[in-house]
Amino acid sequence: MGKYTEPAGDLLQYVGGKENIATVTHCATRMRFVLKDTAKADVTNIESIKLVKGTFTQAGQFQVIIGNEVSSFYNEFVSIAGLQEASKEDVKAAAKQNMSWLQRLVAHLADIFTPLIPAIVVGGLILGFRNIIGDIKMFDDGTKTLVEISQFWSGVHAFLWLIGEAIFHFLPVGITWSISKKMGTTQILGIVLGLTLVSPQLLNAYAVAGTKASDIPFWDFGFAQVDMIGYQAQVIPAILAGFVLAYLERFLRDRVHNSISMIVVPFFALLPTVIIAHTVLGPIGWKIGTVISTVVYSGLTSSFGWLFAAVFGFAYAPLVITGLHHMTNAIDLQLMGSALHGTNLWPMIALSNIAQGTAVLAMIYINRKDEEERQVSIPATISCYLGVTEPAMFGINLKYGFPFLAGMIGSMFAGIVSVGSGVMANSIGVGGIPGILSIQPQHMGMFAVAMLVAFIVPFVLTIVFSKRPQMNLKTRTKPTKLNA
């Protein structure tokens, strides 16, 4: 009998048996099932398995948190169940049958932006570091920055912009590539399309606002003129153009004979898309993006900004559970690409990470004599403070209930402080505590105050709530094992 034979057998039974599994795979910490009938999954008994740290359903998938042992556990599970290994793409495809149209829309957005997140995080850290050395006056009695007194750091400051510009100004290239990859079309065509949106011969998107209409360059076709405007850092024009290219290529591929498809399909997919992108999709996408960013920014900076911040701060953690939080990536990036040159939305996300992590920290204090739970809680807290909230939320906070609520309330108050004091971030960055590196220098002090709120309020509330047994979900649901 292997190390995981018994828990794997229990899990197989509690998910409804082999006949209820459409497909299953795993990621870094979770088993990811697509079940034929999710109602047959016995969540109570699944979570009673010692190895299981929690469960949740997202994007049509029933996910069971195992931890770092998931790879070995998965191998034992598929062996016992007599199942074939499946890829993540197989699971995603199967999961779509369990998803509503809204869930599918969110899944599409997640699939587009997830491959881009590592680069965006790196870019955020680089911009944050450039802020520290180039904008904060720390020397000569607070009159000069490090860049102003050191040629070396001045060179570093200038050199790092090479990476920052590549990530954010050329973001449309990443988006169109990601869409072509997701849609199974020719990825190099997606890259070329993205490059046509940010070509150096176009007027840079950041310069449009300061350029008179009469000075904007244009292509003159005799019967029509098309403005030569670039879409640097613009999200929506790139998404629209990327999907037009993908669907047009798939349409042509199904109708053009293989003998000439290598020539005909790329040409008649790319050329019309580039024309449509610069004449129709680009201007429309720019207008939509401007409206979205203006509405969000105006809401956050209006006299009712505190209310917007309270709602978002309180609701962000539940959004993570549903997967809807992926939509905030597009909004953040649109804010960054607008004349605002930053985002006041992302700081609240970092604060929500801290608040949920602090709720777990309070649970460590409350259950400080429970060695078994500490093995889950301590890594979950560290992960949450570094911006990865799933182990904390699903492994501890949702299991008890009241820590999750305490974290939501703490996030709400921290968000009010952040928005109320006008905190802005240069970009999306690493969540949690390192998030301060992405905050604009003049706002770092108030963000630190908001962080303090995200530490104190959830910690105190979690301890207070713990003394009210009716708020403890774990004491109200006592799982019992089924007969094997």
- Summarize the confidence of residues 22-29 as an average pLDDT: 82
Answer whether residue 243 is part of any domain. yes
Asked whether the beta carbons of 352 and 411 are under 8 A apart, the reply is: yes
**328 is a domain residue:** yes
Express each pLDDT in 356-411 by its tens digit. 999 999 999 988 877 767 777 888 788 788 777 767 776 788 778 889 899 999 99
Q: What is the largest CA-CA distance in the chain?
A: 81
List the CATH number of the domain containing 12: 3.30.1360.60
Residue 387, helix vs strand vs coil: coil
Q: How far is CA 303 from CA 102, 300, 413, 414, 422, in A?
A: 31, 8, 16, 17, 12
DSSP 428: -
Q: Find the radius of gyration of the CA atoms of the chain.
A: 25
- 254 in the same domain as 333: no
- Is pLDDT at 101 greater than 90 in this prediction? no
Task: State the pLDDT at residue 478.
Answer: 43
Q: Which of 72, 95, 118 is the last residue of a domain?
A: 95
Residues 12 and 55 in one domain: yes
* Single-letter residue type at 148: E
Strand 218-220 versus strand 61-65 pairing type: unpaired
Strand order in the sheet with 61-65: 21-26, 30-35, 61-65, 54-58
Q: Which of 200, 221, 196, 219 is nearest to 271 (CA)?
A: 196
- Residue 255 CA, chain-centre distance (Å), reads 37
333 and 445 together in one domain: yes
pLDDT at residue 76 tops 60: yes
- Same-domain pairing of 291 and 310: no
Dump pLDDT digits (tens) for 290-337: 777 777 777 777 788 888 889 888 988 887 765 556 566 667 666 766
Residue 337 sits in the same domain as residue 364: yes
Report the pLDDT averaged over residues 212-234: 89
Which among 337, 312, 335, 346 is positioned nearest to 425, based on CA atoms? Answer: 346
Q: What is the mean pLDDT of residues 44-68?
A: 82
Burial of residue 328 (number of CB atoms within 10 Å: 0-12, 13-18, 19+): buried
Provide the number of structural domains found in the chain.
3
Within this chain, do residues 275 and 404 fall inside the same structural domain, yes or no? no
Q: Distance between alpha carbon 147 and the CA centroid of its chain, in Å?
A: 33
Q: Name the token pair of 239.
A: 């998404």
Q: 318 and 290: one domain?
A: no
Give which of 359, 460, 354 is closest to 404, Cα–Cα: 359
Q: How many CB atoms lie within 10 A of CB 371?
A: 8
Task: Identify the bridge partners of residue 31 per DSSP, sorted by sequence position.
Answer: 26, 64
Q: Is the pLDDT higher at 144 or at 28?
A: 144
How far is Cα 366 from Cα 362, in angstroms, rounded to an integer? Answer: 6
Q: Is residue 161 part of a domain?
A: no
Q: What is the pLDDT of residue 59?
A: 64
Burial label, 441 (beta-carbon count in 10 A; 0-12, 13-18, 19+): middle
Q: Is the overall model pTM greater than 0.75, yes or no?
A: no
Residue 481, pLDDT > 50, answer no
Contact criterion met (CB below 8 Å) for 106 and 323: yes
Q: Which of 25-34, 55-64, 82-91, 398-407 has the highest mean pLDDT?
A: 398-407
Mean pLDDT of the chain: 83
pLDDT band at 482 (very low <50, low <70, confident <90, very high): very low
Q: What domain range includes position 422?
A: 302-476
Top mean pLDDT of 186-190, 398-402, 418-422 is at: 186-190
Task: Tell me, yes or no, whether 346 and 462 share the same domain.
Answer: yes
Q: Is 141 part of any domain?
A: no
Q: How far apart are CA 50 and CA 372, in angstroms?
A: 10
**pLDDT score for 480:** 39
| Whole-number Å distance between alpha carbons of 371 and 159 | 49
Q: Percent of the chain at pLDDT above 70?
A: 84
pLDDT tens digits for 3-17? 888 999 999 999 999
Q: Tell me: do 201 and 315 sit in the same domain.
A: no
Give the model's pLDDT for residue 390: 67
Is residue 375 a part of any domain in this protein?
yes
Q: 96-100, 342-346, 386-390 — which one is most confidently predicted on average?
A: 342-346
Residue 144 lies in a domain: no
| DSSP state at residue 213 | G
Each residue's pLDDT tens digit, 461-477 = 999 998 876 565 555 54
Identified catalytic residue from 27, 132, 136, 292 = 27
Comparing CA positions, the residue from 263, 269, 204 lying closest to residue 243 is 269
Percent of the chain that is helix, strand, coil (3-state, to 5):
70, 10, 25
Report the percentage of the chain scoring pLDDT > 90.
34
Per DSSP, helices labelled H in 49-149 are 70-81, 88-95, 101-113, 117-135, 146-149
Q: Which pLDDT band, with edges at 50, 70 and 90, does 209 fall under?
A: low
One domain for residues 179 and 277: yes
Predicted pLDDT at 103:
62
Q: What is the pLDDT of residue 448?
A: 94
pLDDT at 88: 55
User: Three-state SS for 404?
Assistant: helix
384 is catalytic: no
- List the structure tokens of 293: 């960013």
pLDDT range class, residue 69, cuts 50, 70, 90: confident
- 224 and 368 inside one domain: no
